[in-house]
Amino acid sequence: MTENGAHAFELRGVNIYYGSKKAVEDVNLSIPRQKITAFIGPSGCGKSTVLRSLNRMNDLIPSARIEGGVFFGGQNLYADNVDPVEVRRRIGMVFQKPNPFPKSIYDNVAYGPRLLGVRGKAVLDEIVEHSLKGAFLWDEVRGDLKKSGLALSGGQQQRLCIARTIAVEPEVILMDEPASALDPIATQAIEELMKVLVQRFTIVIVTHNMQQAQRVSDYTAFYSIRKKEEQGGVENRWGVLAEYAPTDRLFSNPASEETERYIRGEFG
Amino acid sequence: MSAMTTPAPENKPYMPDEAAFRRGLAGRHRRGRVWKIFFILSIVMALLSLVALFLNVVNSAAGLIIVEYNVDPADVVPNGDIDAASPEQLAAAIVAYEPNRALVMIRDNLSSVASDQFSTATISQQLGSYTYPESAADKTPRDLTPEERSAILAQNISVDVMKQFIIDEIVGLNVLETYSLYESIFNRAAVEEHFAAEFDQETTRLEFRMWLRPSFLTSGQSSDPVLAGIRTALIGTLWIVAITVLVAFPIGVGAAIYLEEYASLFGNENTLSGKFMKWFNRFIETNVRNLAGVPSIIYGLLGLAIFVRAASDFTSGKFLGVTDSNGRTILSASLTMALLILPVIIINAQEAIRAIQSSIREASYGLGATKWQTIWNQVLPAAMPGILTGTILGMSRAIGETAPLVIVGASTAIFVDPSSPFSSFTALPIQIYQWTARPQAEFRAIAAAAIIVLLVLLLVLNASAIFLRQYFRRKLQA
Amino acid sequence: MSLPTEVGTINAPSAVFDMRAQRDARTTIFRRPRPAETLIQFFLFFCGVLSIFTTLGILYVLGSEALLFFQSGLVDLGEFLTAPVWQPQAEEFGIMSLVSATLMTTLFAMIVAIPLGLGAAIYLAEYAKDRTRAILKPILEILAGIPTVVYGYFALTFMTPLLRGIFGQDTVSIYNVASAGLVMGIMILPTITSMSEDALSAVPRNLREASYGLSATKLETILKVVLPAGLSGIIAAFIVGISRAVGETMIVALAAGAGPCKLYGDGANCFQPFDAAETMTGHIVRISGGDLSYNSIDYNSLFAIGLTLFLFTLVLNLISRSITNRFREVYQ
């Protein structure tokens, strides 16, 4: 396992279930450090499910269950002695719909550091400024940090959520379709931000938008759906990792016909 | 997470170092556990209160009592159980111990002749409308055999009166001390010791008494806790609930239909009158919700001023020629209660009607039905489960509410069963209130017994609500 | 409507159908009086308006009788608001004496109901598994459905002896404010729990996820995100609880004592948790339960107390409604 230096995540034989229903089967994947890795695939292929397993967000769904190993820096995140709180400090997350807390901009960004025990107004002020700058939001909000985070536009809200995440200084940022609820200009801002952030963070992004994956990511994992007819006419569907390659190669020269058909837009 | 050994990315100037973070994390988890215990304790406290409430009631509803008597009840009636005795046994006991008082009872309760002719007139002359043995017909009261006397008593005098007489005048039964069920079971030896040491074994007796017993349901009010029962109160409660529902159900459902189906019908929204109606209907809606929050005692005052006092000619039945009552009647109580539960019925019925898909209505209109036909044939049947649930909720409230009844009813003692809406009344919760307010333990005991009856009544009602809801749902699906 | 011309154009598929359409048009398309439907509509309208009459009735009855009370010459508004005690025999009518007892019982009720109700709501909304919740919620509904007179019995026969056992027979009177208030808190608990739980459950899941994503623990997420977000709904629940405590009657009538306390002056004894004090509701029930003649000062005074009580609860209900409405807007 040479990945300890180069790879942030190592997924081995990961199966994820919701209740008795299988959502993802046998995912094996190495996610490189300080690169942007994109997860693409049709709806229901389990790409978000895999993403949420990377910082144990699936723990919040009582019926979710995982098999196999998700290794982060060589350590299985699902080992008994691992604390999900600690996991999420190191692996932050930005969600599909901007979800700022109904608090001021300042309190949104200071939320994480305060939890971690950072006290003192001067230090917090600096963290807030530093993080907002890091998310390209400082210039737009510096005048009224007391304003509610909900009063910002959608794109600003999403950048606030990113600022809030980097304030905790994680090592990885997971982004679950971070731009799907935004207009093209706001989307572009987020994409540019990602390219800067990747200098400091490992980024894993789920996206429904193949152009976006092509534009921003270094590696792309394509997930696909497998179906099986059960007795009684019920169709079971679950996701698998169909192809994983550097983004350039995956889009220019896909190894499987399924990938090719997907990126040509024949299904999705 | 000691095994996590990745080199931390550079540039973390503000964060606490790993050791400090780890110490902090332990504290954060500890706080989480402590608070979780508090949250669980909260719900446990709620559950414990419920258990304590029930146990406390059951604990008082049965237990040992020390009774004093002049004549051992066991000599008077079989087993000494006056409650369980038949009318014949009671009458025989009265004739055996107080033969002359038995005659007085006949004279006062049954005889139709003037009291100075009682001893000279024959039985057939003075007991015309009552039943009596043939052999007694031509005798004067003094010549009656004991068997004849007791037969006349048994056939004509109420069981309550005979029991009261036996306990007061023959046995002289008097409850001296009352023990809870807990003491009676787990501390029986001490109670027995206390009884043996402190009480005269000739004239007192230690016995186990179930305060909730069949005769408790069938006896009327009495100032004696041993004899007191809830028949009158139960009948009063049933009367009140029945009339309350009869009044509140159609009006409540009607108001809900108006608010949900017709409120938009009056006028065009762009005209002044249309705008007014829109505002007016919203006002009604807000008003209903506000009424739901008005304390029940205020409804009591409303009922007192309007139904009992201002409308006393109506609520006392005077307009129908009923003369023997004032406005403090079952009808007043029911109307008050109806106003009280109306908001409950309206709000629930509104929700039930709102939940009906508009496709059902459209299908009905499409077949040429009028608005009312659509409501009557399609909307109401589909909304019925929800409407009934709300109605039963309202009924539960009407059964348990006490304060408005006390204010409207106010009577301290009612010895006659209510027989019409114009009767004065007592009700189960009033009875519980009055008995609980008495300081003696034996009254607390019968209050507990009455509470059990009340809770069972509510349980049956709510169970039937669940059953009805299921029944209607199945019928709709079929 | 200019029907005759339209009918021809609407349907003319066949001669037979055309004839029927014309006949039907003449007989049925025009508005036709439907007396039954109109009658029903009037009845429904009456049902809807009845609630307004109820409110007007309450206002009229309370207002007019209270007016008679103040016109009796025995008491004026200033005296009503400032006299130290409510003692009709002595022609002293100080409402604040009754109000103080009401506030005391309400305070005790809230001391029990707010922390426990909120704690139970948090447990149900955030910690309990679906199965546990499915069992616990109906049990809480049982607690909510028990008639208040039964709680009164509970206060007098369980809570009072318990308090006297803990604090001593000499300290705690047989009738006391604390016992009534604590049991009232138990009575209100299910209301606060269920309303607060609704408010907590209405907080969107993505806020919780955001907090967890920032490495918050469950408790931190609850205290710092979920509770503040659901705060208005929770406060509305508290206010409804307070309103119910203020209007609650049978518990105080049975357990809090019969006899108003004295606010100030010699022998002032209000605000003593372990002493008896009569609340507004308790006094109304006690006086009206006995022989009460109309047109007496006693009778009129009941309505003056009733009016005070009504205003209290009305204000509380209006506040709670406006908070709930604002709360609804935030998440829509």
**DSSP alpha helix (H) spans, B61-203:** 73-76, 87-97, 99-109, 123-126, 146-156, 159-165, 181-186, 188-198
User: Closest Cα of chain C to B86: distance in Å?
Assistant: 34
Query: pLDDT grade, residue C30 (50/70/90)?
Result: low
Domain ranges of chain B: 60-74+173-210, 83-171, 231-477
In total, chain A counts a number of residues equal to: 268
pLDDT of residue B183: 92
Per-domain boundaries in chain C = 1-33, 77-331
Is C214 in contact with A168 (Cβ distance < 8 A)?
yes
Distance, CA of B50 to CA of B435 (rounded, Å): 22
pLDDT tens string C168-189: 999 999 999 999 999 999 999 9
CATH topology of domain C77-331: MetI-like fold (1.10.3720)
Chain C contact present for B469, CB below 8 A: no
- Chain A interface includes C215 (CB < 8 A): yes
pLDDT greater than 90 at residue C15? no
A117: chain B residues, CB-CB within 8 Å = 16, 20-21, 24
The contacts of residue B153 (CB under 8 Å, 6+ apart) are: B87, B90, B91, B94, B95, B102, B105, B106, B162
Interface contact A51, partner C, CB < 8 A: no
pLDDT of residue B6: 37
Looking up tokens 């994390």, which residue turns up?
Answer: B25
Q: How many CB pairs under 8 A join A and B?
A: 59
How far apart (Å, rounded) are the C-alpha atoms in residues C259 and A107? Answer: 53
CA-CA distance, A252 to B194, in Å (whole number)?
A: 100
CB-count burial class (<10 Å; 0-12, 13-18, 19+) for A1: exposed
Whether C319 has its CB under 8 Å from any CB of chain B: the answer is no
CA B360, B366, B367 angle in degrees (round to 5)? 100
Residue C27 pLDDT level (bands cut at 50, 70, 90): low
**Separation of alpha carbons A134 and B457, rounded Å:** 67
Q: Is the model's pLDDT at C8 over the cut of 50?
A: no
- Which sign, positive or negative, has the C-alpha torsion A41, A45, A48, A54? negative
φ and ψ at C87, to 5 degrees?
-140, 90
| Torsion angle of the four alpha carbons C81, C83, C85, C89, in this order, in degrees rounded to the nearest 10 | -110
Of the candidates B3, B5, B16, the beta carbon closest to that of A116 is on B16
Whether chain A has a CB inside 8 Å of the CB on C213: the answer is: yes
Residues in chain C, how many? 332
Contacts with C58 from chain B: Cβ below 8 Å: 294, 298-299, 302
What letter would DSSP give residue A240?
Answer: E
For B461, the token pair is 């009602």
Cβ–Cβ under 8 Å, residues B342 and B251: yes
CB contact under 8 A, B255 and C48: yes
Each residue's pLDDT, cut to its tens digit, for chain A (268 residues) gives 334 467 889 999 999 999 888 999 999 999 999 999 999 999 889 999 999 999 999 988 888 999 999 999 889 999 998 999 999 999 999 999 999 999 999 999 999 999 988 888 999 999 999 999 999 999 999 988 999 999 999 999 999 999 999 999 999 999 999 998 889 999 999 999 999 999 999 999 999 888 999 999 999 999 999 988 877 777 888 999 999 999 999 999 999 888 999 888 877 6
Tell me if chain C has a CB within 8 Å of the CB of A63.
no
Nearest to C210 among A99, A115, A116 (CB): A99
pLDDT at position C157 is 94
Is some CB atom of chain A closer than 8 A to the CB atom of B189?
no
In this structure, what token pair is assigned to residue B426? 């007592």
Report which DSSP code applies to A104. B
Strand partners, B66: B177, B206
Return the half-sphere exposure (C-beta side, CA atoms, 13 A cut-off) of residue A204: 27
Q: Give the distance from residue B31's alpha carbon to the nearest chain A alpha carbon, in angstroms.
A: 13
User: Of the candidates C51, C122, C240, which has its C-beta nearest B291's C-beta?
Assistant: C51
Query: Quick check: B178 and B442 in contact, CB under 8 A?
Result: yes
Interface check C138 vs B, CB under 8 A: no
Give the span between the Cα atoms of B427 and B409, in whole angstroms. 9
Ranges of H-type helices in chain C: 3-10, 15-24, 35-71, 77-82, 95-122, 130-145, 148-154, 160-167, 177-201, 205-213, 218-221, 227-229, 231-247, 250-255, 280-289, 297-330
DSSP A143-186: T-TTSBGGGS-HHHHHHHHHHHHHTT--SEEEEESTTTTS-HHH
Tell whether C219 is within 8 A of chain A (Cβ).
no
SS3 of residue A26 by DSSP: strand
Partners of B1 on chain A (C-beta within 8 Å) are 75, 81-83, 86-87
Question: Do A202 and A31 touch, CB atoms closer than 8 A?
Answer: yes
Positive or negative CA dihedral for A101, A103, A105, A110?
negative
What is the distance in angstroms between the Cα of B477 and the nearest Cα belonging to chain A? 24
Put simply, the answer to whether B1 touches A85 (Cβ < 8 Å) is no
Contact assignment for C212 to A99 by CB distance below 8 Å: no
The string of pLDDT tens digits covering residues A174-205 is 999 999 888 999 999 999 999 999 999 999 99
Cβ of B400 and C146 within 8 Å? yes
C121 near C192, Cβ under 8 Å?
yes
Query: C118 and chain B: CB distance < 8 Å anywhere?
Result: yes
Closest CA–CA distance from residue B23 to any residue of chain A (Å): 10
Cα separation, A40 vs A37, in Å, equals 10
Find, among B169, B266, B152, the residue nearest to B227 by Cα. B169
Q: Minimal Cα–Cα distance from A46 to chain C, Å?
A: 18
Q: Is C143 on the interface with B (CB under 8 A)?
A: yes
Chains that touch B (3 or more CB pairs under 8 A): A, C
Low-confidence ranges of chain B (pLDDT < 70): 1-16, 264-269, 410-412, 478
Q: What ipTM was predicted for this assembly?
A: 0.91
Alpha carbon distance B98, C28 (integer Å): 85
B255 touches C: beta carbon within 8 Å: yes
Homologous superfamily, domain B231-477: MetI-like (1.10.3720.10)
**Residues counted in chain B:** 478
Nearest Cα neighbor of C208 from A132, A102, A181, A74 is A102
CB nearest A75 (choices: B3, B28, B29):
B3
